[in-house]
Structures are given as C-alpha cells and as structure tokens.
Amino acid sequence: MSMVIRQISVIFTAAILLSACGERTPPDSRAAVTLPVYEQGDADNGAIIYQDACGQCHQLTPGLNKKGPQLMNIYGAKAAQLADYDYSEALKSSGWVWDAETLDPYIADVETAMPESKMLADPMPDASERADVIAYLSTLRAPDSADAQVDTTNQSNDQNNQNSNQHSQMSNDAVVISDVAAEKPAADFQ
C-alpha cells in the first residue's frame, strides 16, 4: 500500500511540474531598449514634463510600481508585460509596442486611445510636449546586469580619476608658501 501511494505521489508531482513547463511568468522588469533614442523632441524638457504629469503615478525603478507601472525601458517594449502590475484587459490584449506611434495618441488622450485603460491622466493636447515626453521615455534605459558591473567598474575608475584631479588641483592651488618659509630647507619646518 505504501509503495502504491509513493508511486502515485511521484506521478502526481511529475505531472504538476510538467504542466508548468509551457507557462512563462512575466518579468518584473523589461528587456533592454533596442530602439534608437527618439529625437523628434527635447528629452530634457520631457523630463520636466514627465515629473509634473507622470511622476505621481509612475516610477523609474524596475520592480517598484506606484498607481501605474514603472517605466524604465518602456520605449520599444510590449505593452502590459510586467508581472508585478495588474494591467487592464484592454491593454493586455492590445498587442501594442510602446514607440512614438502608440505613445503619442495614448499620452494625448488615453480615454480616446484606449477607453478601458486604467490610466487616469489629463489629456496632453500639445504635440511638442508629447514629443518631449516620448523623447525622455526613449532615454530611460536600465543597464543589463553585465553592463551594470562594467558600469560600476567604470564609475569607480572615474571616481578615482576625479579624486586624483581634485587632489592635483588642491596641491597646485591651495598651498601658499611665504617668502620666509620658501628660503628655509625642508628639515627646518617643525
């Protein structure tokens, strides 16, 4: 009897494990952006507009959402792909990829572009402001984990170079030796 239960248990466990093989859990972050930066707008101005119009509901940190999903690596990404955010069914089934063609009407008036969207935003009728926001969103690129390690090394080297440059500048600019002290040999300084 015990052997039969053990065999059934093994078969049941194998069936459960195999049934999950075809399923994929969506990520809590997006893949790296492959589209070029959108140059039809001013990304610096877009950052300012983003903070005012979007920043209350959207974060830029992968894995952290507010009322809306985080937007790091959004440009060129498929819509509704993060596992840690509950998207509307309309957005999930849209098949959209977030590029200038889809972002522009969505930002212009989300209720017109996708009436069932969960996003509650005032319309942005100014086309140049929308272009600026899209340009900014296209610059939001989180490094891959391998790139992040290289970037950390480069930051460390940059910091060392900056410290060295500051030290050189301090050595040249900060020390003033009086005429009397300049005439004394180094051994006389106490």
- The answer to whether position 2 is within a domain reads no
72 touches 142 (CB < 8 A): yes
- The answer to whether position 173 is within a domain reads no
3-state secondary structure 146-159: HHHHHHHHHHHHHH
- The answer to whether position 46 is within a domain reads yes
Measured distance CA(128)–CA(141) in Å, rounded: 22
Side-chain-facing half-sphere of 90: CA atoms under 13 Å: 11
Contacts of 125 (CB under 8 A, 6+ apart): 108, 109
Mean pLDDT over 121-135 rounds to 97
Query: At 78, which amino acid appears?
Result: K
**pLDDT at 35 > cutoff 80:** yes
**pLDDT at 15 > cutoff 90:** no
Query: N- to C-terminal Cα distance for the chain?
Result: 94
Token duo for residue 69: 């999903």
Mean pLDDT over 30-47 rounds to 92
Residue 2's pLDDT is: 64
**pLDDT at 61 > cutoff 90:** no
**pLDDT at 156 > cutoff 50:** no
Q: Which residue has the higher pLDDT, 47 or 7?
A: 47
Q: Quick one: what percent of the chain has pLDDT higher than 70?
A: 61
- The answer to whether position 132 is within a domain reads yes
| Most confident among 26-30, 58-62, 161-165, 166-170 (mean pLDDT) | 58-62
Residue 64's pLDDT is: 87
Q: Which domain holds residue 126?
A: 25-139
**Number of domains present in the structure of the chain:** 1
**pLDDT at 146 > cutoff 70:** no
- The answer to whether position 169 is within a domain reads no
**pLDDT at 62 > cutoff 50:** yes
Q: Which residue has the higher pLDDT, 60 or 6?
A: 60
Helix (H) or strand (E) holding 13: helix 2-19
pLDDT tens-place string over residues 4-14: 566 655 454 44
Residue 11's pLDDT is: 56
Query: How is residue 22 annotated by DSSP?
Result: T
Measured distance CA(108)–CA(121) in Å, rounded: 9
- The answer to whether position 85 is within a domain reads yes
- The answer to whether position 61 is within a domain reads yes
Longest dimension (CA), the chain: 103
What CATH number should be reported for the domain holding residue 61? 1.10.760.10
- The answer to whether position 84 is within a domain reads yes
pTM over 0.85? The answer is: no
Mean pLDDT over 138-151 rounds to 63
